[in-house]
Structure 1
């Protein structure tokens, strides 16, 4: 089919980005999707059954399957604003200005704010790009506050308030805290870490490290709020009807989470680390490259990557373009730094990446002579 349509396959040595199609689904995931695709179901029943299973697997009170982390943000905002009222929910995005504010740390402001705003919520930012203080959160909470949203990422750590402190201040005023942890796997413990700290809802993407359907995600957390997710989310009519998760995506995500929980995480890390070390060993010194293995993902996840520090006469951007022409995606960190992530690579693909990169390096070096 790919050849017939002219779709070009790529090797992904970058990361689990949506623009590349996320990650690869395993056989168990594909089989679960195929099996449920051949029957008709009661979507509410499937949502409850799979949600209960996922909640048990991840040590949470409840779980709701959505169409991705962005859809989860929209639904979580709507649930927090509705406060259990189907009447209020059905009027969204017209909130009537009643408890429709969502507090967000300014230093965590990102493109996914729009998923929150699409519910009708109004975002109130606190702090700045350098720091956020307790009094700023305390002062921002009012009778118009519906929730506090917190984006977990190592990119925001310096200027953010600790999540524990955010939860404490918000809960003292009976305001729920929603955590976006879309890409925060591994480690597997994050499935219950944030709710264990007191977060009311936590959102994960299904199409990244979980290797589930790209159009899937899961909301974990308080049983009463998850119940409202079921009441207000698709297939119910309202603004979140657009956040539809198919029965195939729901079954596939459950199978992916089950497989992820059963995986030997230490063995998987060692497999990835071995690939990262191989890339370092084979590329270190080529065209004066300094290669190093860094033991974390781009937003703090616990998987290794190989960083390639280039000499100043070689442009990382040009190397990335050269690799793209060879149908390989690679990470660009800075003007003279590239990286290889083994997360989505098979062993043979890693060897192809190394060979292609050596070729691009030699081409680039010849251009500068």
Structure 2
């Protein structure tokens, strides 16, 4: 059977979950890491799939569909209007375009050139977040404000204020405090409520926000690549006209008729339907199933925790005593992914000896699988992290190094300044534009370093792995990534792919060899 036939057969084989991925050589995962986009977010509900299939069987004028969807979203949420977009980041970009250009054709076709226009997007300094680039690609200029005085000074050039809904309870500039000055200057307020829960009436609209963005493909179980924006009718309609199918800034952010219908059905289901309420009622019992496997294991403790502002609000924290169970959470994560079935747990929100499990994407059967796998891991720690043999360093890497980096396209010249004590290495990493802090180790002829460049809103990370060559230089692979502080973890630290690197001493002398212990 050829690959096309294999894939076609897998796609219709409903009895074998994940078969369509295996036909492409990709092993699926049991998903305990919430609704992160990198892992597929959530699966559309049965009602959503049925609606999408029905929409795929006919054709419609997309502008007329947008009008119908907008009216229905207004009825469901109590907002003036609504629009379905190609995801939350697309919503931020299109909302910025709408607030800067409206539906003025001359301005629309200039974007992202906003010179001479009110183009500032104000964000409270303690709400800076990882997806601001979406607003910058529309021509928005991000300006953070830490005080009311700074807000009042910047508001005159503002096109929009962006707030992060989940941070409203902890920020120094919450929505209610910003509202008077925003209204006085006719500056729209957008609330990014991506992972939060819509309702009727919508809490953010009721509180005075002009636009609210909800992710469709997370807890609502709409198509993954959708989001719903509700709020002022004029702004929602301007979002639509700035996006596909129109020849405007957002043409690349295309949304299909099937996705639009699926997203509307999903938000209706979330707010009104019993099936969604029953689904949510099973989240805690699934965590309890996992917990039951771990309750009697010495050195392991569990706690069902709540996170203010979260839709799930309940997740299971699993902690262990390193003296009894000598592996860390990253070793556990990688080991569970290497097993069959593959199990995915969080890489951030973890500590060295704890991890967080999310129930949203688990079935009852999968909860049992996760509980059993964790119990087996804690009962046999050596299966997760065999005892490590210590390898004596064969060189001293202290000093300055010139580093040549080869990206997938293009090159760069960086510098490392290192200091080695035993096998541990610390120092600084200089890119062409900034300086970061280095930490790592030497094992035999192998060097492993992590360079962290702290910046707002996304830190940059460079993970160097290399081997000493005969000419005294290092050659190896470089992992590239970036992550917001709240999401520090190995996955995002590698989210930009790999590069190659070669390092030579700045003084052109080979790496100083170490005498091997007899």
Provide the TM-score with structure 1 as the length reference.
Answer: 0.91
**What is the match of residue 350 of structure 1?**
367
Do residues 113 (structure 1) and 132 (structure 2) align?
yes
1:174 Cα deviation after fit: 1.5
1:254 Cα deviation after fit: 1.4
Do residues 126 (structure 1) and 140 (structure 2) align?
no
Do residues 219 (structure 1) and 229 (structure 2) align?
yes
Partners of 2:36 and 2:163 in 1: CA distance: 21
Do residues 292 (structure 1) and 292 (structure 2) align?
no
Q: Which has the higher helix share?
A: 1
**What is the match of residue 10 of structure 1?**
29
Match of 1:328 among 343, 348, 351: 343
Do residues 151 (structure 1) and 202 (structure 2) align?
no
Match of 1:163 among 163, 172, 175: 175
Corresponding residue SS for 1:149: strand
Partners of 2:123 and 2:186 in 1: CA distance: 16
1:36 Cα deviation after fit: 1.4
Corresponding residue SS for 2:212: strand
**Is the 8 Å Cα contact of residues 345 and 356 (structure 2) preserved in structure 1?**
yes
Partners of 1:301 and 1:136 in 2: CA distance: 32
Match of 2:68 among 28, 45, 49: 49
Corresponding residue SS for 1:359: helix
1:309 Cα deviation after fit: 1.6
Give runs of aligned pairs for residues 305-320 of structure 1, distance below 5 A: 305-312=315-322, 313-320=326-333
Give runs of aligned pairs for residues 85-100 of structure 1, distance below 5 A: 85-100=104-119
1:258 Cα deviation after fit: 1.8
Partners of 1:190 and 1:319 in 2: CA distance: 42
1:191 Cα deviation after fit: 6.8
**Is the 8 Å Cα contact of residues 100 and 121 (structure 1) preserved in structure 2?**
yes
Partners of 2:199 and 2:260 in 1: CA distance: 22
Give runs of aligned pairs for residues 233-312 of structure 1, distance below 5 A: 233-264=243-274, 267-296=278-307, 300-312=310-322
Partners of 1:110 and 1:190 in 2: CA distance: 27
1:168 Cα deviation after fit: 2.4
Answer with 248-257 or 261-270: which moved more: 261-270
**Is the 8 Å Cα contact of residues 104 and 126 (structure 1) preserved in structure 2?**
yes
1:158 Cα deviation after fit: 3.4
**What is the match of residue 149 of structure 2?**
135
C-alpha deviations, 1:32-74, integer Å up to 9, x for none?
1112112221001111111211221112110001000100000
Give runs of aligned pairs for residues 61-80 of structure 1, distance below 5 A: 61-80=80-99
Partners of 1:170 and 1:190 in 2: CA distance: 24
**Is the 8 Å Cα contact of residues 63 and 220 (structure 1) preserved in structure 2?**
yes
**Is the 8 Å Cα contact of residues 199 and 271 (structure 2) preserved in structure 1?**
no
Partners of 1:363 and 1:170 in 2: CA distance: 59
Greater relative contact order structure (CA < 8 Å, 6+ sep): 1
Answer with 171-180 or 272-281: which moved more: 272-281
Partners of 2:125 and 2:352 in 1: CA distance: 27
Do residues 178 (structure 1) and 190 (structure 2) align?
yes
1:198 Cα deviation after fit: 0.6
C-alpha deviations, 1:132-167, integer Å up to 9, x for none?
x2222112212x21011111224x753442121122
Partners of 1:12 and 1:272 in 2: CA distance: 13
Partners of 2:254 and 2:277 in 1: CA distance: 35
Provide the TM-score with structure 2 as the length reference.
Answer: 0.66
Partners of 1:284 and 1:239 in 2: CA distance: 55
1:210 Cα deviation after fit: 0.5
Structure 2 CA distance for partners of 1:189 and 1:33, relative to 1, 3 Å: closer
Structure 2 CA distance for partners of 1:266 and 1:252, relative to 1, 3 Å: closer
**Is the 8 Å Cα contact of residues 76 and 200 (structure 2) preserved in structure 1?**
no
Where in structure 2 are there 5+ consecutive unaligned residues? Answer: 1-9, 11-19, 388-518
Number of residues of Structure 1 aligned to a counterpart in Structure 2: 359
RMSD over equivalenced CA pairs, Å: 2.0
**Is the 8 Å Cα contact of residues 146 and 176 (structure 1) preserved in structure 2?**
yes
